[in-house]
Structure 1
């Protein structure tokens, strides 16, 4: 299958590292013009340099904006008023006991993980509908189905991504604009590597081996019995953004390694 996104412009939020940067590289490799986003200009610039080193022919530019507020989303839309592919990837995560999570932290997770995607989808999809083609992809998580006891606020936000994605797909029925959610499982992003750094240092083993042990312990239902790579997640997103995925909408596309124990 040859995916050709030439002539399409893609915005990937929160794409200065991890899964987001891998998605940006994947879309650029397929020929899309890619907009890299992060809160700080220096991180955006560094990500762009990394992307162009990996994909020398890439047509890419950056847009710094903090998407945890309506003002930040408005600033991004003002800078980049039209896109064909919107990947709502920006997100916060981290363990925090339910009884120790203050109201403002619940609100922060909601604003970044949920409302950024709501606001940007509301801003960008009308032009997609007018053009008769568009792709909106929400990066949810297997934690949206398997709510982690130590990250309830995170799990709730990822469940909300699924609800918004499915509902928006129905709202845009028949327009040529598809809306889907991609659900990664444990993925060897920079954040996970940082979380496992102490264990790796103590054991002297590779980060992949340490991550596999973590998956077997914390996500024993995993069928692949290891962490996914960021590129494996990006591959699903690139497909969902492609013309070939025109009959896939309202879907929850799992890249969870089989962690969610269901055939549905």
Structure 2
């Protein structure tokens, strides 16, 4: 089975293909996406591609305008992997060139990997998170390779026995290190508005649509950590976490410590999509 790709060639995942003078390797000069495939069917692939191109435009990285060719390569790698349930990782960088801060003139690099996805065993019991200062840069809407603050916060959460770190900037909750965050209060879903401080999540888009279908108010406004811990329900979303209930923040239990009815309704509807 072939489960990786680099610049026009399908390769084995352990094959050495990334040169030393690769901009992603040296500068984190690139963007990426993770797309989930359920039963051989890509989930929200076009929306992921939209965000990939938007992120690339934001850092002046020109991806081949032939979007369909890139999409077909992604589909071919999925087929070659022999997997039916997987995560497809796609990365585009500014390519290979001698180390220099200025943009090189050469072609971009495109790499992909296809791996079985790992479901996090949370289920109805819910998960716990910590609050952490948002130490990232100002342009978090770009899905760039520069993730060191996210990694450090996520690692701290893991070392303390938590699933995720929820980031706080200027006294307001922004998002998780790799997730969007929502509270439920008085049967309304409340989440941080889109801005340069958060990523426009693909699963966030799905949740907003599901909320409309279920006639649940979806309110985009900022909220504080205090409002978060006093919420009726909390959940987080991402491509890999799907819709994950949160029942504890730091040392504070949320409501009765179980998954709430709104979160359960969203989870049930989400499973019907694929």
Please indicate the TM-score interval, normalised by the length of the shorter structure. Answer: under 0.3
TM normalised by structure 2 equals 0.26
The structure whose residues are more often strand, as a share, is 2
Q: Which structure: larger Rg?
A: 2
TM normalised by structure 1 equals 0.27
